[in-house]
Every structure is written in C-alpha cells, then in structure tokens.
Amino acid sequence: MHSEPLLQIAGLNLRYGSSHVLHDISLTLGARPLTILGRNGMGKTSLCNAIIGLAPHFSGSIRLAGTELTGLTPEHRARLGIGYVPQGRRIFRSLSVEEHLTIVAQKGGDWTIERVYETFPRLKERRRNLGDRLSGGEQQMLAISRALLLNPRLLVLDEPTEGLAPAIVSDVVALVREVSQQGMAVLMVEQNLHAALAAVEDAAILVGGEIVEHMSAQALATDPAMQKRHLALELA
C-alpha cells in the first residue's frame, strides 16, 4: 500500500516585501532524510521559516501528513509534529540547561530528559549552567535536545553544524543518522557538504531561491563538477 510522504511542498513562493526569495519550490520528504544545500543568501533559512510558520507564503502548499499548514501558527505546527533547530541556536541566556529542557519535555514520548542526558552526557554535567555559560557546541546540543523533546514526526535543522568543532560536527551527524533510522523524518539545511552528505540519504541544491538539483547524497558526493558549479566548493 502506497503511503504519502510526510512533508509535501508544492509551488511554494515566498516574498519579503518586494524581494521574491523562493521560486516555485516543490519537494517531498518521507523516510529518507534530506539535506537542502546552498551558499549564503540562496533561500535556505527562508524555506525553513515557511515550513515552521515564521514567514508567510503567498502561494503554494505545505502539507504535513496530509494537513495543510497554510495559516497555522508555529505553535500549532509544533503540536502537529514539527521540531525545529534554528540557525544560531536561540538559547535563553538566563535559563539553565535543565530549565530549557523541562519547559518543552513531553510526557509519554520516546525522547525524555533522561534520554537527552544519556545522548549528551556533557549537558547532564552542565545542567545547572545558564545558557550564556555554555560553549557553542553545548548550545547546539541543547538546541537539538529541545527539539527532540517535542518527539516530533519531522525534525528541521537549519545549519546545525555551523561554527562547531569537528568532533561536535561528528556527534551531530551521528545523531541525525540515529533519529532517522528510528523513524523520524529529517530535513537538514546545510552549507557543510561533508556533514550533510554523511548524515542523509538525499540532497537538493537551492540556488537563487530555486531547487536546481535533487538526487541521492551518494550521487552528489561523487560529482565534484556539480559541487563546484552550484556550491562553489569541493569535497576534499
């Protein structure tokens, strides 16, 4: 029996004032984790904002498990099953690690505060520390944990490896692979080609607000000409 993709985007256009930033975006996301790759200013964060409800879209459709998201608030979309890890982490400076987690923890889900501490022992060690007393890597662990505690059906990560040390990047990649293998749908927006292609199975490239390529991560990893043409970088 055919099951529809969890996330379906069709004909999405997005404007900020007179700027047309997303052009007729169409994509689907099911069990295979997907990365959206692109250089700065290509519309990646705008696409995330449209999905989670932080930006109005003037035409097109975004559906989660068949439910149209147009007009729904970010809070409503979160309740429907979208977890979001924003670019820049957006950690509250005056809340401790444990306070961040307690605010969002859900009863009865697979992801609990105890599981977060098992996954990120460093957060357990730092659980009494305020947000402004955490390193960049610790803040990213906390931002990801905060989203996972919603026990979402879809996890949207916007530049989750930005500014992180290589060891922490590896931890993020491993976690993305783990949650996707356990059945959570993952949309990972990235500039870090190495990390993205190690974490997911499919890749789409965004250029000037348009998806210009959509292929398997393995195919992109073995196509340096395409990497250079659309991303202006190369895998070592």
Rounded-to-integer distance, Cα 192 and Cα 38, Å? 9
Under 8 Å between Cβ of 104 and 150: yes
Task: Give the contacts of 20 (CB within 8 A, at least 6 positions apart).
Answer: 13, 14, 209
pLDDT band at 235 (very low <50, low <70, confident <90, very high): very low
User: What's residue 39's pLDDT?
Assistant: 86
Amino acid symbol at 19: S
User: What's residue 2's pLDDT?
Assistant: 45
Rounded-to-integer distance, Cα 181 and Cα 179, Å? 5
Q: pTM score, two decimals? A: 0.91
Rounded-to-integer distance, Cα 12 and Cα 21, Å? 10
Mean pLDDT score of the chain: 90
**Residue 99: pLDDT above 70?**
yes
Rounded-to-integer distance, Cα 156 and Cα 86, Å? 8
User: What's residue 233's pLDDT?
Assistant: 53
User: What's residue 109's pLDDT?
Assistant: 86
Rounded-to-integer distance, Cα 154 and Cα 4, Å? 14
Q: What is the mean pLDDT of residues 169-174?
A: 92
pLDDT digits (tens, 9 = 90+) for 20-36: 999 999 999 998 999 99
Give the CB-side neighbour count of residue 56, counting CA atoms within 13 A.
5
pLDDT band at 234 (very low <50, low <70, confident <90, very high): very low
Closest CA to 20 of 12, 29, 9, 28: 12
pLDDT digits (tens, 9 = 90+) for 49-92: 999 998 876 789 999 999 999 889 999 999 999 999 998 778 88
Q: Which CATH number fits domain 7-231: 3.10.450.50, 3.40.50.300, 2.40.50.1020, 3.40.640.10?
A: 3.40.50.300
Paired with 28 in beta bridges are 8
pLDDT band at 4 (very low <50, low <70, confident <90, very high): confident
Rounded to 5 degrees, φ, ψ at 21 are -100, -25
Q: What is the mean pLDDT of residues 225-229?
A: 90
Domain ranges of the chain: 7-231
pLDDT digits (tens, 9 = 90+) for 177-204: 999 999 999 999 998 999 999 999 999 9
Q: What is the 3-state secondary structure (H, E, C) of the chain?
A: CCCCCCEEEEEEEEEECCEEEEEEEEEEECCCCEEEECCCCCCHHHHHHHHHCCCCCCEEEEEECCEECCCCCHHHHHHHCEEEECCCCCCCCCCEHHHHHHHHCCCCCCCCHHHHHHHCHHHHHCCCCEHHHCCHHHHHHHHHHHHHCCCCCEEEEECCCCCCCHHHHHHHHHHHHHHHHCCCEEEEEECCHHHHHHHCCEEEEEECCEEEEEEEHHHHHCCHHHHHHHHCCCCC
User: What's residue 169's pLDDT?
Assistant: 92
User: What's residue 106's pLDDT?
Assistant: 81
User: What's residue 207's pLDDT?
Assistant: 92
User: What's residue 149's pLDDT?
Assistant: 95
**Residue 1: pLDDT above 70?**
no
User: What's residue 132's pLDDT?
Assistant: 85
